[in-house]
Structure 1
């Protein structure tokens, strides 16, 4: 039996194969439609670990729904590239960097799709996509199985309570093992999952899939697999199909009361009973349907689309809440459930979840949660209370825009010329002071110094920084006053590298990135007395100032401070010159004599001094104080302090030994360990200077599953080797010729 994939034609109707081939060699032209019925809308995201086939799958979905007329490779070897990878860097590298939105129509259902990156460095793109989507397709590689980013995506889905269907992809690859992936889905991710389909053959012998629910075989004929042919299950797969059908009923019965009663009463559920139970359990996130196929070989994509419309929620079936804006903390504010009504009955409410610089100004992606919005209407930002006129409304197809006159609850659209931040809420009534629940933004884990190669490009560099930091909340740029350098912080080395390349490509501003300098400090080891006279006479009024006292170290818990104490008695040092002495002392602390870093952890005790009736002035005592500090440097004992970070590492228990070894190698001191449910947590104190490159090292050693967080703890004396290295580097900058001559001899 053969049935038409596109359109609503009963499966019982028989078609001539030649007719099918002629009609569907390329899918019918896409005709966009806006459905006003919420049950005809699906908002889904396609998420997975890197290189699991998300973008390839999206390309097939767009092709089979008639959204595009030709399919292209992800890496763009044909100089075109996948539709959703519209950025040149994405096509060159073969990875998704930015999430891309599109919409299409499948069997009269509007399907809004967001294709998300798989690399952990761009995890915020997945965060904000899942925040506004109602359901998701979790793509798993049949060879790699459940990988590091799969676990991250799973946590994100759980955070936003997003139901999902799983799609085991790449069954054509050597070493494909869908049964192992299903077991990992159950054991590693804790999903109550079962097959809705099983493959017929693996690797090069993959010929189609078997629908476990209907107990039918499905073949994908035609040059591009555009014709789905339904037939009886081949004899060699009948037993496995029956077994998987019983297993499916059992797994769904465990979480669905209606099917559970039928199972206990030994009643055989009909196909409709089973599908209804699967939908109920999936919407409650108590069951995960598992489908199989190969997107690259054009097998299994159309049944996946059927599963999306059958088992994932409509916008009306998802509870979305907004907080009433007031002075109370967020946790104490009143929550209001959004009414998913596609009419003007309820006031409009939308969430800006992604920003992008477009050709006509800022492009703001908005998910509509309530009411409707017409082109030309005025909306209000509930955070800033600013009003904006919606001069242009568009729906997105990757980097292409299609103008629309109105959008409704459940839609994903974009606005032009709206000045806002990611996570802002918009309403059509200024009196409606509400804001949608915010988007979780992880903290950056890696930092590098960054500067333009050419100082003449500073303007372009500033424009790029302003744009990228606004678009991506995980990309931070700040100026380090201590070391006089600009620091870029992000989610990983690839994250920072991509933005550096985009600055060059999009703004003509090549940049240099490197390891940032650590904010070392110089401090005194023990008390040191000083008695310094600054005297200068060159005709006329001269300079005269004398300071006497003690320079002493502060306690270890205060070694980041500097103090000035006036202990003078009498008029040897006139009171009007005390501020000048303090000013000179503070100026000396800006740059130490050992390594050029700031001086900290010392107290300047001024006990006595001397002045001249004519020659003493403010500059005299500033220079006297600076001379006193230099005298203490020459006569006292000094050391270099380094920042110590409190580091917390979380990883699977199997990698505990490796992680401990890495921390020891980096001069870390373990302060505590904990283990729970197959994962361990280790807290330690590690010098910041030893933490560069740790992010990549940890990911490599733990198969990408380890994560760490660090924060400043204290300053502590650096090891002798580090101190000698810093001193030599500083001497080289002061006397480069002398050092070169010394090395030559």
Structure 2
């Protein structure tokens, strides 16, 4: 970090797919001087979309970090994906950001993934700016989009700019704070905004919008409010200070506008990032839990002080043929090469080699990093996403990251049988990188299964296996990632007595299974007295139960929402044996799950379809045939927005279907909602 922490801005750019988010990022790189050539998504030359898969598809798949200078500040930027299949990339980025810019299409307005990223920003209390993009497009309407954000996202938005013209007439913006107007010249790629007179035809709009802006600024400061109510002229720097205070507190969301593709409006957006988004010392300190010692379990605040012991959160791991990179947000302290850190989960030492700053996929080695920095560390042996790294002098654990469970699966196998072990290794590496990806192997058939968040997610990972890791594979069709649970409590016990070599061994376990909606997967409670089951065998029995619960009694899908209580057993002097106890526990669990009314669960998705009114009937009919429950319909002019829930198993190939039904004019988005029991009349269709 080359600037004082108060001049640092950590922010991300988030949006629904195709709102122009990466084009905004590319213009930021160009106008800040970080890149000397303007990257274009449609040409496959975007710097931030560096993966071949991203360049071919024209979409962002993985969050990419960089840093740029602007004015006297340093901006650390993370460009995130917009497609719902990669929403975990947004989630983990949002966790470590101090602010964000939410990009909206000036034509489409609020879309399905717009709502998702807004909720993610709310979850982590991230201050934000709005950039209404694509105002040069046919159908663009700045006021409608602002109203849409207010109504659908329940936000108090305050325009800081007003567009000069819209659609093909869009030529510039009015700065409502300083009452200046700007246009951009295409001859120099918009590098130098040109000041022009305030448009007389916008006099009324400017007066009303500036009034809202002044009111919002004044409400954040009592002395400013008094002068505002007295009708006094407010200095621009005090207006900016009031708006900054209101933005950081979450009271308002400032709105800017432009057209990134036409090189209009990016420099004022960068100014707004500096003026209104917080530095690391202006957001509440993160909280951590003390590990060990007299204060074990106590909550402490981690102040962003470079003189304090180091504390950082690993929010992302990237893997390729060269190895793993652990992306770390530094919350306190400083780090130098050769330092030793401890991992909160494994309690093991990690030795720091190189310290890297990333510019998309380009690496820059630095000597040290302090509080507020976003860095990458290669070669960490034990670290996983969500782990805390800390100095020995202050052992703490930050709140980890949580991710949704996979909802679809497909089989995968190597083209060459000799590549099987290599494929298994690659799948495990991808699991480490992507917390929403799972791989498994059927012990009976040897079938390999990869599971993820959607068809595109699995397709991208399959292509990466071939392209990045040089393992040619074949894959099956996507299928639903079902889960299993129980509907009632049940108790069972099992005794294992057998000869092992020249001795008899004994194991006896008594347990109970209980439905537990609050438990994400399976939780094992140890209630057995030490005189009934030796404590030395406890961890092995718990591990055996969790492994067995990965294959349920109906059709071998993982068991979820179940609590297993190990209540007791018995000891036989000289014959008690760990393997026998594990075998008894497994047998008791199998019988208890069968007795507890097992239920097959299917993933249910929240969906949103936006369509012109002319196609509404056919789209509704198609959704009904897919077992969709339509919960709401919003009318916005000729646009109809359908919201509801639907089983994901009914939505394979829906992108093609909805395009066909609407002649390409409808769009849709989905995100995981919950797991729900499969209706009894559907079970025969599934072969059960």
Which of residues 221, 225, 228 is equivalent to 2:190?
A: 225
Which of residues 47, 58, 62 is equivalent to 2:14?
A: 47
1:71 alignment partner in structure 2 = 38
1:120 alignment partner in structure 2 = 84
2:341 alignment partner in structure 1 = 379
Tell me the distance in 1 between the aligned counterparts of 2:685 and 2:121: 48
Tell me the distance in 2 between the aligned counterparts of 1:518 and 1:339: 42
2:590 alignment partner in structure 1 = none
Cα shift readout 1:34-64 (whole Å, capped 9, x = no counterpart): 11x2111000101101111111111111111
Q: State TM-score, norm by structure 1.
A: 0.68
Cα shift readout 1:657-682 (whole Å, capped 9, x = no counterpart): 999977864579x9xx9999999998
1:34 alignment partner in structure 2 = 2
2:155 alignment partner in structure 1 = 191
SS in 2 for 1:243: helix
1:454 Cα deviation from its structure 2 partner: 3.2
Asked if 1:168 corresponds to 2:116, the answer is no
Tell me the distance in 2 between the aligned counterparts of 1:692 and 1:651: 10
2:601 alignment partner in structure 1 = 645
Asked if 1:459 corresponds to 2:421, the answer is yes
- Whether the aligned pair in 2 keeps the contact of 1:445 and 1:695 (CA below 8 Å) is no
1:95–1:664: structure 2 CA closer, same or farther, 3 Å change rule? Answer: closer
Which of residues 279, 286, 301 is equivalent to 1:314?
A: 279
1:335 alignment partner in structure 2 = 299
SS in 1 for 2:214: helix
1:515–1:233: structure 2 CA closer, same or farther, 3 Å change rule? Answer: closer
SS in 2 for 1:137: strand
- Whether the aligned pair in 1 keeps the contact of 2:482 and 2:601 (CA below 8 Å) is no
1:277–1:657: structure 2 CA closer, same or farther, 3 Å change rule? Answer: farther
1:460 Cα deviation from its structure 2 partner: 3.0
- Whether the aligned pair in 2 keeps the contact of 1:365 and 1:415 (CA below 8 Å) is yes
SS in 2 for 1:188: helix
SS in 1 for 2:601: strand
- Whether the aligned pair in 2 keeps the contact of 1:503 and 1:511 (CA below 8 Å) is no
Q: 100-109 vs 658-667, which deviates more? A: 658-667
Q: 384-393 vs 402-411, which deviates more? A: 384-393
Tell me the distance in 1 between the aligned counterparts of 2:132 and 2:678: 48
Asked if 1:488 corresponds to 2:450, the answer is yes
Which of residues 460, 468, 483 is equivalent to 2:430?
A: 468
Alignment of 1:81-480 (within 5 A): 81-221=45-185, 222-253=187-218, 257-326=222-291, 333-342=297-306, 345-358=307-320, 360-419=322-381, 420-428=383-391, 430-480=392-442
SS in 1 for 2:449: strand
Which of residues 44, 52, 58 is equivalent to 2:25?
A: 58
- Whether the aligned pair in 1 keeps the contact of 2:336 and 2:368 (CA below 8 Å) is yes
1:214 Cα deviation from its structure 2 partner: 0.6
1:180–1:722: structure 2 CA closer, same or farther, 3 Å change rule? Answer: closer
1:336–1:674: structure 2 CA closer, same or farther, 3 Å change rule? Answer: farther
- Whether the aligned pair in 2 keeps the contact of 1:698 and 1:704 (CA below 8 Å) is no
- Whether the aligned pair in 2 keeps the contact of 1:393 and 1:415 (CA below 8 Å) is yes
1:483–1:162: structure 2 CA closer, same or farther, 3 Å change rule? Answer: same
Aligned residues: 562
1:184 Cα deviation from its structure 2 partner: 0.8
SS in 2 for 1:186: helix
Tell me the distance in 2 between the aligned counterparts of 1:381 and 1:293: 45
Tell me the distance in 2 between the aligned counterparts of 1:314 and 1:720: 58
Tell me the distance in 1 between the aligned counterparts of 2:168 and 2:190: 16
- Whether the aligned pair in 2 keeps the contact of 1:515 and 1:692 (CA below 8 Å) is no
Tell me the distance in 2 between the aligned counterparts of 1:235 and 1:517: 59
SS in 2 for 1:225: coil
1:426–1:691: structure 2 CA closer, same or farther, 3 Å change rule? Answer: same
Asked if 1:505 corresponds to 2:467, the answer is yes
- Whether the aligned pair in 1 keeps the contact of 2:163 and 2:170 (CA below 8 Å) is yes
1:693 Cα deviation from its structure 2 partner: 2.4
1:528 alignment partner in structure 2 = none
Alignment of 1:590-739 (within 5 A): 644-645=600-601, 650=606, 665=625, 691=650, 693=652, 703-704=667-668, 706-711=670-675, 713=677
Tell me the distance in 1 between the aligned counterparts of 2:483 and 2:175: 65
- Whether the aligned pair in 2 keeps the contact of 1:642 and 1:715 (CA below 8 Å) is no
1:651–1:69: structure 2 CA closer, same or farther, 3 Å change rule? Answer: closer
Tell me the distance in 2 between the aligned counterparts of 1:518 and 1:213: 52
1:46–1:692: structure 2 CA closer, same or farther, 3 Å change rule? Answer: closer
Q: Which runs of 5+ in 2 are unaligned?
A: 485-514, 516-554, 558-596, 636-640
SS in 2 for 1:227: coil
1:319 Cα deviation from its structure 2 partner: 1.7
| Rg comparison, structure with higher value | 1
- Whether the aligned pair in 1 keeps the contact of 2:428 and 2:439 (CA below 8 Å) is no
1:237 Cα deviation from its structure 2 partner: 2.8
1:381 Cα deviation from its structure 2 partner: 1.0
Tell me the distance in 2 between the aligned counterparts of 1:447 and 1:405: 43
SS in 1 for 2:56: helix
SS in 2 for 1:165: strand
Cα shift readout 1:144-197 (whole Å, capped 9, x = no counterpart): 111111100000000111001111111121221111110111111111012111
1:187–1:715: structure 2 CA closer, same or farther, 3 Å change rule? Answer: closer
Cα shift readout 1:676-704 (whole Å, capped 9, x = no counterpart): 999999899x8x9x657288699989953
Tell me the distance in 2 between the aligned counterparts of 1:510 and 1:490: 17
- Whether the aligned pair in 1 keeps the contact of 2:324 and 2:378 (CA below 8 Å) is yes
2:579 alignment partner in structure 1 = none
1:692–1:61: structure 2 CA closer, same or farther, 3 Å change rule? Answer: closer
Tell me the distance in 2 between the aligned counterparts of 1:261 and 1:665: 60
1:652 Cα deviation from its structure 2 partner: 6.9
Tell me the distance in 1 between the aligned counterparts of 2:682 and 2:135: 54
What RMSD over aligned residues (CA atoms) do the two structures have, in Å? 3.9
SS in 2 for 1:98: coil
1:96 Cα deviation from its structure 2 partner: 0.7
1:108–1:721: structure 2 CA closer, same or farther, 3 Å change rule? Answer: closer
1:406 Cα deviation from its structure 2 partner: 0.5
1:356 Cα deviation from its structure 2 partner: 1.1
